Structure 1
Amino acid sequence: MPTTHRASRALLPGALALLMLGVAACSSDPQPADPTAGEQAPEPGPTAEILITPVDGTDEVRPDLPVTVEADGGTLTDVQVRTEGVENTGADEMTGTFNEDETGWTSDWTLTPGAKVTVTATAETPDGETVEATSDFETLPATDGRRLELQSNFPTSGDTVGVGMPVVVNFDLPVSNKAQVEAAMEVVSDEPTEGAWNWFGDQMVVFRTKEYWTPGQEVTVNMHLAGVNAAEGVYGVKNHQLNFEVGRSQITTVDDSSHRMVIERDGEQIKDFPISNGEATTRAYTTTSGTHLTMEKYQHLVMDSATVGIPEGHPDYYKLDVNYAVRFSNSGEFTHAAPWNSSLGQANLSHGCTNMSTGDAKWFYENSLMGDPYIVEGTDRELEVDNGWGYWQRSWEEWLDNSETGEADKTDEAGSPGSPHSES
């Protein structure tokens, strides 16, 4: 073994060099080739940019101007608008409309005055990358004395109404930008029909359908009034939602010459009552002809001619206590019990009302809904369109011509004709 040890120490210098070369050759064996060696890293794909108007951090934003979102280099997939401090009425959700290629979005409704608003938008690039942007801003408040409020509406939520029922909305301030207010009020029904708004003065607007409502359905009116510029410096301050039900179809026809009242329910005649209309000795005592609607009813009512321009002391003055009264105009016309009238079914002897027997008047009172059509035929005094709810006195063509938007609203579709936004 020592010999072997000595031999290993006695290697010649040349042999040592060869050995070292051999070691070096082993340590430098080639590795598998890197297919990406020498190549540059791929550049990232294009990123979409989102522009939201109003821009982030803006204050004193006019609430009547639209919210817009644009995507450059991608398509919009979602836009959400959240408003802080707003009471939820069911009409507060901000919806919007995408353009055809989904690179732009515009809000459908106006913004609540004096609110904090957050808009969050999401877009996607052609490569599938998702991009998000947010804008927080504040809207101008509505000032005292210039805050448009809803004063009253007919029907009210929860009502069941007749098939002729209009939607009557009264405001507390005059409206001059009528087309924008019309466009802010969306009517949606279960069954398809068309309708439009007409104005009667500057503070009352009425929605009427082209044909009677289909019975047995729900109707919703979303009044997106918050932020609408109703007049110079006047803004709506709150949204409202109205929900009502259309009941059965009941249509009453009164023939002045035959002195009969015929009632049809859902297309079938169910009653034929003897009546007595206005004696027609004066215009005031002539029952109006045309399509009326039943408006309200009283189990007991004091009828005072002073309320229709015949004061106490006048030769024609009267004051009567009547039962089972149903109003069908604003010129003092009611159906009611008249047990003193012995000419029912034979002659017209009233001051303009439709006189009935107590039993028949009671039945009509108990079976009438607000908005039931009440048609009077045969007199020479025509019902005025603004006398009570005489809105069916206008043909559909006339009604549509009197709409500020001039376009029918299809009630089985979301949205409304026109735009509630100001142009600038």
Structure 2
Amino acid sequence: MKIDMRNRRLVAGLALAAATVATMTACSGGGGHKAESVAADATIKITPGDGTRTARPDEGVAVSASNGHLEQVDVREDGVSAPGGFSTGNTSWKTTWTLKPGVWYQVKVTAKNSKGHETAVMSRFRTAPAGNKIAISDVTPQAEEKVGVGMPIIVTFDGPVANKDQVKQALEVKSDKADEGAWHWMSDRQVVYRTHHYWQPHQKVVFTAHLAGVRAAKGVYGTTDVTKRFSIGASNITVANGKTHHMTVNHDGVVKNFPISMGKATTAEYTTTSGIHLTKEKEDPVTMVSPGHQPGDPEYYKEVIHLAVRISDGGEYIHQAGEEYDALGVRNASHGCVRTSPTGARYFFGIAQRGDVVNVTGTDKKFVDEPYDSDWKFWNYSWDSWLKDGNLQR
């Protein structure tokens, strides 16, 4: 069969054109654009969930983000923001303290994905009301009181606390000079804060109990936060020695020495206790009566004493001697108190503030063994013992 040469050239030309188009299609890119990847939006999770009406106050608010990071979290109750903190990388957030029982909270959260696209979420929930309530019945020291460098913070509750760790975590102490301290439970109703070393003098302290929403026991919640402010005054540290019959008083670095006469130790009752005491109150005058003795008893006494500063609930004071001035600096002749000269008593009384340190030495009766639970014996225990739960060890 004879093929027309003109048709052969036409077919070849069409084939070449088709191949060229196919090649250009497969290798295109000279002026084209690659498809951009699309990042998923950040996903936000808020706990408790939107619309919840019985959220546990002690569990707080938790927020997390996936496919991105949190930018802003705002949790409010009646216009007041609840403090909280972000995790490393801002992938989660949690309230610092517990929530108020029986109230509505509003939560606003923004997050961004890897491309910077923002996602915003809002929610509302209500905390469960407190079936039974617990509150603080007393805080020592008093609000705005100026106290000594040994002063503890004593918090007493109006009911027993079972969840001691949860309650302790809600108690916050801030001092201007950032002194280290720790809480120790003395009973199921009382917890005490003591610094590692004595407070540094001349500073302000703020105690806050973030008690609202704390689950103190099963079905028992705190409903109200408590804040008390006080200050640390001068550093007054006294050492009274029953063997040398003198006491040294260090007042902000100024040291004075005074003659004393301590308990005559004819009986345990008349023996001054050794150990670290704290001043508790001062009176001028105060009438002292022998405990457990009646008029006519050889051991009975009733004396009006001046410039008296109490250092224990067992009846020990530092005060001006009312008699036997010849014993001062020489021998122990009192009924258990620390007697000193009029000059020494006036000076000590004048600078004394609650929580000053008085370290009594030189006797064989220990202050820590006294039976009075209200005594402030806290400095007679080691720091390691103070940090542990349970009974304190010397």
TM range (shorter): 0.7 to 0.9
Note if 1:294 corresponds to 2:276.
no
User: Equivalents in 1 of 2:293, 2:104: separation in Å?
Assistant: 56
Contact 2:181 2:194 in 1 (8 A): yes
Structure 1 residues not aligned, in runs of 5+: 1-37, 87-92, 405-424
Question: How much identity, in percent, do the aligned residues show?
Answer: 43
Letter in 2 for 1:152: D
Letter in 2 for 1:77: E
Note if 1:236 corresponds to 2:222.
yes
Moved more, 370-379 or 313-322: 313-322
Paired residue for 1:331? 314
User: Equivalents in 2 of 1:199, 1:277: separation in Å?
Assistant: 33
Equivalent in 363, 373, 377 of residue 379 of structure 1: 363
Structure 2 residues not aligned, in runs of 5+: 1-31
Alpha-carbon shift at residue 324 of structure 1 (Å): 2.0
Contact 1:331 1:387 in 2 (8 A): no
Paired residue for 1:411? none
State the SS of the aligned residue for 2:345.
Answer: helix
Paired residue for 1:369? 353
- CA gap of 1:311–1:140, structure 2 versus 1, over 3 A, is farther
Alpha-carbon shift at residue 104 of structure 1 (Å): 0.9
Alpha-carbon shift at residue 208 of structure 1 (Å): 0.8
Alpha-carbon shift at residue 379 of structure 1 (Å): 0.6
Alpha-carbon shift at residue 40 of structure 1 (Å): 12
Equivalent in 97, 108, 121 of residue 109 of structure 1: 97
Note if 1:394 corresponds to 2:384.
no
CA deviation string 1:241-286 (max 9, x = no partner): 22222222221010111211111123341x2111221121222221
Paired residue for 2:135? 149
Paired residue for 2:156? 170
Paired residue for 1:213? 199
Equivalent in 120, 125, 140 of residue 128 of structure 2: 140
State the SS of the aligned residue for 2:73.
Answer: strand
State the SS of the aligned residue for 1:275.
Answer: strand
Paired residue for 1:284? 269
Contact 1:82 1:117 in 2 (8 A): yes
User: Equivalents in 2 of 1:376, 1:401: separation in Å?
Assistant: 26
Structure 1 length normalisation: TM-score?
A: 0.77
Contact 1:85 1:115 in 2 (8 A): no
Contact 2:39 2:114 in 1 (8 A): no
User: Equivalents in 2 of 1:77, 1:305: separation in Å?
Assistant: 70
State the SS of the aligned residue for 2:307.
Answer: strand
Alpha-carbon shift at residue 232 of structure 1 (Å): 2.1
- CA gap of 1:94–1:350, structure 2 versus 1, over 3 A, is farther
State the SS of the aligned residue for 1:361.
Answer: helix
User: Equivalents in 2 of 1:235, 1:203: separation in Å?
Assistant: 14
Paired residue for 2:17? none
User: Equivalents in 1 of 2:289, 2:135: separation in Å?
Assistant: 33
Contact 1:196 1:403 in 2 (8 A): no
Alpha-carbon shift at residue 43 of structure 1 (Å): 8.2
Letter in 2 for 1:220: V
Contact 1:274 1:344 in 2 (8 A): yes
User: Equivalents in 2 of 1:209, 1:293: separation in Å?
Assistant: 14
Which runs of 4 or more aligned residues in structure 1 lie more than 6 Å from their structure 2 counterparts after TM superposition? 38-44
Note if 1:53 corresponds to 2:56.
no
Paired residue for 1:121? 109
Paired residue for 1:68? 62
User: Equivalents in 1 of 2:390, 2:113: separation in Å?
Assistant: 43
Alpha-carbon shift at residue 317 of structure 1 (Å): 4.3
Alpha-carbon shift at residue 288 of structure 1 (Å): 0.9
User: Equivalents in 2 of 1:387, 1:344: separation in Å?
Assistant: 30
User: Equivalents in 2 of 1:58, 1:115: separation in Å?
Assistant: 11
- CA gap of 1:296–1:227, structure 2 versus 1, over 3 A, is same
Contact 1:197 1:403 in 2 (8 A): no
Equivalent in 157, 161, 180 of residue 194 of structure 1: 180
Alpha-carbon shift at residue 70 of structure 1 (Å): 0.9
Contact 2:279 2:311 in 1 (8 A): yes
Paired residue for 2:119? 131
Higher RCO structure (Cα 8 Å, ≥6 apart): 1
User: Equivalents in 2 of 1:176, 1:62: separation in Å?
Assistant: 17
Moved more, 113-122 or 166-175: 113-122
Alpha-carbon shift at residue 177 of structure 1 (Å): 1.1
Letter in 2 for 1:192: A
Letter in 1 for 2:66: D
Letter in 1 for 2:276: T
State the SS of the aligned residue for 2:100.
Answer: coil
Alpha-carbon shift at residue 44 of structure 1 (Å): 6.2
Alpha-carbon shift at residue 42 of structure 1 (Å): 7.2
Q: How many residues get paired? A: 355
Contact 1:339 1:357 in 2 (8 A): no
Paired residue for 2:25? none
- Superposition RMSD on alpha carbons, in Å? 2.5
Alpha-carbon shift at residue 172 of structure 1 (Å): 0.9
State the SS of the aligned residue for 1:398.
Answer: helix
Paired residue for 1:408? none
